[in-house]
Structure 1
């Protein structure tokens, strides 16, 4: 019988592959952590927490296992396998040999024609609508899955699917301006859901999806803060995450539903989408959220389209290009730069998942070859992966000659990477001038500075000592071996400005490092619900990038970050939270931990380093401490540190006030002078469930309060409505009836605690002959107007109410004018009667929208009231009502607490008695109400001319 050790390591008896697999794991660990790899590696060791293998390291391990066993492993293993045992099961299940890295066949995705772009479009929806109008069958996306055959998505199919999602969201009560989070992997569903939210009038909030069950607790904990800050009302996610994601509902106050794409596609009925304006928010891009208050960059449609158009002109992009991308769609470089830019310019987009690239970087290059890609983009680490992971045998027949521009951005660009990549792939058709180091940030949408076309990367070699001492970037002289190198990011895009300033905001001369500030047409208006961060962002008309840089001969050289944010694999990592968590571990000196990023000279990527003081000296204790620190890092950040350095007391440098000096500690580390056990999935679920109990109780208490208020409001309403109805029927004079109605309306508002603010009532003091027009939000509008208006008016109501005896008796007694909406002949007769009523001296009040919806927004206006005013020669007084829709929405009998305001505009005199004068009155009144009602325009493009 095998011993426990033999069963664990797979070394007992016949070798079933476990020994070979563990040998590959040990070999990789020895390369990654020379002298610091775990002494024992078992089949059940956690790949991240115990062995310290992040996603990039696991991708390398997968390639080695495929070579060692002669099999092809599915890319999903990269995300799902958490132990060597899981990898062993995958190896045993895989029987097919590993296929070639890419198809040698060339099938260009280019269509051929150029110059297709919707220059007049103001929103992303208008961009897609324009393409559907002109070429619905044109392929927009070639979606690469596990096989070599791409799934085509046409513009027509994209819009049809997006409208189906929009219909599903509208059916579930999504209101214009509400936010919906998307937590989905790259694929068709992501594209449809993003656009579907926009068509439904919502605001998408992209967040990255969970990858492994072991990260579930931390993933939900971190995203709960973002979802709460964004006031997210719905989360669209994968089916597997749906049961666990429901726990978020108790922690995110606004969250009403957890949905999957299938839930939304099943909605019945056609939905044409809601109109939008250029200044409307297109989506929120969160740049942080794991520490402090999340920072969601507000980007409008105008911001996005301005940036896309300017970037496109800078690279001369058009519909004859082909863009190949694996970038995640939850990140601005992939979402805006790759997808939305391609959408605008009708560029075929060859799209693969990030996991496909990480598992086999060669798939990216072969996709460029196969589809004759002309444009692509990636962070610096991706180019390093191609250098490290792609063997020479995997490049035979590769042709990158079609690639005219590949953008390198989103993280620091390494001069060594640029040189090595060009040298390695130049024999395969890659031209050095195709590489474009660029600079941008979410606060500018995505792009801010590009190098000129046709120029190879510019690398500035400067003297190290003067730069480190004073920030002077002095050019290197002959014989000086202590050089620093920085890569040029080009010049600001047309219409943008960039400057470098000192701490006092004074602009610095060339070759002097300072803070980089920018301005331009795509600059954000600020961070969503984060006024303090927004205040810090702006310096007058300039925005603070948070980066350090210098200028030389018009070229921008980014040198670092003002704050100690670490960029790892394109992600921003803030060190404070990890330092605090590691400092709480037994064996670590609290307050004596430094977390920083350090460039890896071998790979050109930024490494995450944890330096922690400890008094532990025994090998076993230090090894256990390493594992606990890895565990904490994975729990907080989703990745382990690249290196954990355990140092003796008083090694981590601090300021006189006790603050960690991260830059100085990093220098100590670079000069060579210098986690918790994994939780079971059931325990994570239990912890989240327990943490959700207090918020659940608060929500239950709040719901009880809402029910109590609704019940009280109904009691008060019916207690007043019945006697008011009877009194109005009995009183002989109109003035008396109006006084009773007004007293009842005001008493209803007072007893339900509903404040009413009335502005501009003086506009009604200049005579009785007026046509009053108001927006229509709720059944409460009539009650509110009776309480707000200083004198009696005659309401215009739909003729259907005449067929209901109880309302009809009441409305007739208060002089309501009934107007037919559907019988055109009767409608004309009713309009003529209304005109006579106005000429006779009556003040009429009409709701020209004709109806109202639960959805916020101003509907098109009907012409009846304005035609009556023009032909009677009387003024129109616009009235804007706010708040009633929130208190009592359409098709709802559940009132809520709220406040109401009524703003009365100045009279608008008609310019004549004809139809044109009536149209002019309508347009002027509607524009005034739209400006003061605080709701979106649902009649964009012009209200229809109808009675």
Structure 2
């Protein structure tokens, strides 16, 4: 901790202070700036609750830790079941204070309750929690159902909003071992069953410092966001980073943003936000939904860093957003494309080069053969990709996934990562951990590397990501990336919902073939003046043939909200493929 007798340090000096763990950091900030605002929550995306100060969070986390340790042992797991809000933050830090491994999980959505409970059961079976942390209201609603899951049946339940703050008055949270587990981050499951990534305190400290230095953050940074807190991008960038750096974070529920995207931008304008992170679809949604009248009320001149990641990044999305909000003071260079994944805590690359974000046009035919060849953007076979910059402190290699040797610049291979941000493996999955986290180069023996499962290539412009190895559709010996086909299908007909198309491969007559599943806009599904489904499907088939020289074996049109997605909004192509092959409703209804 910092000596309380010391006078306040200047901002420049504070930016150089390092803490071994986030627990050490929060203790120090609670002593140094006890009444400064740490978390401000906007439940409806507009009106703020009283903020959590550094001192208040420290006191409440101590109370949770004291009650938690009275019931479970250090190192045991605690399942966190919350809606976004301050109680989740208190519970998470309470676990860290207690030396209990936090397991953030999202509540099953009422509209997809069966699927949500199935995922929750999978997490519980894997993590074997000793406790469930939640609120009194949520416990009253979900406890009976949750206890049908065998691994939850006999565990302790703690409603953190009912724990008196004075319970922690005598509690002293010991500084954790940097190599001990901080939490289990269950992967999104976009290509398979969720796995618990084991994130240590050392991983967190290293990745937070990588984020800080890569994005040029300092003690004046103000975070504003809406990402779900049980997902790595939301948890680390909006909750752990502010606590580690001693800065202010303004949060709102994801649903508040989705209902009215202008709320995100209005919060940045109101609180003079400087950092906010979002997937690509959010920038598109704002461009489409925020009106001219709303734009006139916004001042986005404070926004210094807008990271775009977690899904394929589209250059045209960023160009449209920058043009649409130029009148608000938003600057194009504010956008920083990033690449990361839970297995590397969060960020891998994103440090901007000595110029604004970069996109290049590559020959699609050559990319399908595994080579990046720059061509004019208006070329018939041009495919635009966005650079995710470089990594300051991680070793990022592009490797032939079969030969395990480094690829040449511009050659497509699997992205491998090494460094202190890389997690220690998957919980209770030694075989998978060895396969994913202990890769070595076949010619030099260098390693260990973590295999990301993502395809990409490197040039002097940085790292370019092409897609997931498991998602690649191989037809006639050519690699086709699903998100390219999805983008083509999405623009084929106005009745198709943006961001709600999944392309995947199935075996037909002994060969792989393409299937496209697309959600219809609600008004189209309701039949209010919409085109006939057959004409929509035919438009998709024509577009896919023209753009990719592929015949879609099937085009399935679905009601809004049908496609499986992760908690962060990523399409789950493998799950979509399973449901298609199983012929589950509503798949049968719209063939």
TM-score normalised to the size of structure 1?
Answer: 0.49
Aligned counterpart for 2:359 among listed residues 447, 459, 470:
459
Tell me which of 198, 213, 231 is aligned to 2:128.
231
Q: How much has 1:204 moved relative to structure 2?
A: 0.5
8 Å contact kept, 1:142–1:151: yes
Aligned to 2:431: 532
3-state SS, counterpart of residue 207 of structure 1: strand
Contact 1:369 1:398 in 2 (8 A): yes
Which of 262, 279, 284 is equivalent to 1:362? Answer: 262
Match 1:438 to one of 314, 338, 352: 338
Task: Quote how far apart the aligned CAs of 1:441 are.
Answer: 0.6
Q: CA deviation at 1:281?
A: 0.3
Matched-pair contact (CA < 8 Å) for 2:109–2:116? no
Correspondences of 1:387-466 after superposition (within 5 Å) = 387-452=287-352, 455-466=355-366
Closer, same or farther: CA 394–471 of 1 in aligned 2, 3 Å: same
Aligned pairs (5 A) from 1:75-86: none
Q: Does 1:598 find its partner at 2:490?
A: no
Cα distance in 2 for partners of 1:504, 1:153 equals 52
Root-mean-square deviation (CA, aligned residues, Å) is: 3.7
Deviation per CA, 1:221-255, whole angstroms, max 9, x where unpaired? Answer: 22111111011111223424545434444533365
Q: Tell me if the contact between 2:81 and 2:105 (Cα under 8 Å) persists in the aligned partners.
A: yes
Change (3 A) 1:241 1:210: farther
Out of 191, 197, 206, the position equivalent to 1:306 is 206
Tell me: CA distance 1:155–1:202, structure 2 relative to 1, closer, same or farther (3 Å): same
**1:128 matches 2:26:** yes
Q: What corresponds to 1:145 in structure 2?
A: 43
Question: Aligned pair 1:258/2:152, yes or no?
Answer: no
- d(CA) in 2 for partners of 1:645 and 1:300? 53
Counterparts in 2 of 1:830-845, with a 5 A limit?
none
Superposed CA deviations along residues 459-482 of structure 1, whole A, max 9, x for unmatched, are: 1101122222x1111110587322
8 Å CA contact 1:497, 1:518 repeated in 2: yes
Matched, 1:177 2:65: no
Contact 1:298 1:524 in 2 (8 A): yes
- The Cα shift of 1:273 comes to 2.5
Residues 35-81 of structure 1, C-alpha deviations (whole Å, 9 max, x = no match): xxxxxxxxxxxxxxxxxxxxxxxxxxxxxxxxxxxxxxxxxxxxxxx
Contact 1:176 1:200 in 2 (8 A): yes
For residues 478 and 271 of structure 1, the distance between their equivalents in structure 2, rounded to whole angstroms, comes to 62
Asked whether the equivalents of residues 502 and 508 of structure 1 are also in contact (C-alpha less than 8 Å), the reply is no
User: Which residue, 608, 611, 629 being the options, matches 2:502?
Assistant: 608
- Residues 611, 556 of structure 1: alpha-carbon distance in 2 compared, 3 angstrom cutoff: closer
CA distance in 2, matches of 1:492, 1:419: 24
Distance in 2, matches of 1:323 and 1:112, equals 21
Decide whether the 8 Å contact of 1:168 with 1:266 is kept in 2. no
Counterparts of 2:329 and 2:292, CA distance in 1:
15
Change (3 A) 1:291 1:417: closer
In our comparison, the structure showing a higher alpha carbon Rg is 1
Instruction: Say if 1:139 and 1:114 are closer, same or farther in 2 by CA, change over 3 A.
Output: farther
CA distance in 1, matches of 2:181, 2:534: 42
Change (3 A) 1:558 1:613: closer
Equivalent positions of 1:687-836 (< 5 A) are none
- How does 1:169-208 map onto structure 2 within 5 Å? 169-171=68-70, 173-208=71-106
Change (3 A) 1:606 1:675: closer
Q: Which moved more, 1:294-303 or 1:394-403?
A: 394-403
Flag the structure with more relative contact order, 1 or 2, with Cα contacts below 8 A and sequence separation at least 6: 2
Contact 1:500 1:551 in 2 (8 A): no
Separation in structure 2 between the aligned mates of residue 226 and residue 131 of structure 1, nearest angstrom: 33
2:271 pairs with one of 371, 377, 388: 371
Alignment correspondent of 1:503: 402
* Secondary structure of residue in 2 paired with 1:433: helix
User: Which of the pair is proportionally richer in strand?
Assistant: 2
- 8 Å Cα contact 1:223-1:289 kept in structure 2: no
Does the 8 Å contact 1:314/1:493 carry over to 2? yes
Classify 1:487/1:598 alpha carbon distance in 2 versus 1 (closer, same or farther; 3 Å): same
Q: 1:831-854 deviations in whole A, cap 9, x for unaligned?
A: xxxxxxxxxxxxxxxxxxxxxxxx
Q: Secondary structure at the match of 2:208?
A: helix
Alignment of 1:490-639 (within 5 A): 490-537=389-436, 538-540=438-440, 541-553=448-460, 555-564=462-471, 598-599=486-487, 600-601=490-491, 605=499, 607-608=501-502
Summarize the Cα distance change of 1:342–1:665 in structure 2 as closer, same or farther, 3 Å threshold: same
Aligned twin of 2:285: 385
The question of whether the paired residues in 2 share the 8 Å contact of 1:327 and 1:334 is answered with yes
Quote the offset at 1:275 in angstroms. Answer: 3.9
Q: Which of these residues, 282, 286, 291, is aligned with residue 182 of structure 2?
A: 282
Residues 218, 258 of structure 1: alpha-carbon distance in 2 compared, 3 angstrom cutoff: farther
Aligned-partner Cα distance in 1 for 2:553–2:291: 30
Aligned positions, number: 499
Show the counterpart of 2:65: 166
Paired with 1:199 and 1:666, the residues of 2 have a C-alpha distance of 57
Alignment-derived partner of residue 669 in structure 1: 552
Any conservation in 2 of the 1:167–1:264 contact (CA below 8 Å)? no
Q: CA deviation at 1:440?
A: 0.5
Give the 5 Å matches for 1:341-360.
Answer: 341-360=241-260
Q: Could you say which structure has the higher helix fraction?
A: 1
Q: Is the 8 A contact 1:609 1:645 kept in 2?
A: no
The question of whether the paired residues in 2 share the 8 Å contact of 1:416 and 1:604 is answered with no
Q: Distance in 2 between matches of 1:478 and 1:277?
A: 52
Alignment-derived partner of residue 80 in structure 1 = none
Task: Kindly provide the CA deviation profile for residues 811-864 of structure 1, in whole angstroms up to 9, marking residues without a partner as x.
Answer: xxxxxxxxxxxxxxxxxxxxxxxxxxxxxxxxxxxxxxxxxxxxxxxxxxxxxx
- The Cα of 1:135 is off from its aligned counterpart by 1.4
TM-score, normalised via structure 2 length:
0.76
CA drift at 1:499:
2.8
| Structure 2: gaps spanning 5 or more residues | 1-8, 441-447, 474-481, 509-517, 523-532, 542-546, 562-591
Mapped partners of 1:245, 1:382: distance in 2? 33
The CA distance in 1 between the partners of 2:506 and 2:428, in whole Å, is 35
Q: Give SS of 2:339's match.
A: coil
| Kept in 2: contact 1:380–1:409 (CA 8 A) | yes
Matches within 5 A, 1:265-344: 265=164, 268=167, 270-288=170-188, 294-344=194-244
CA contact (8 A) 1:297 1:442 kept: yes
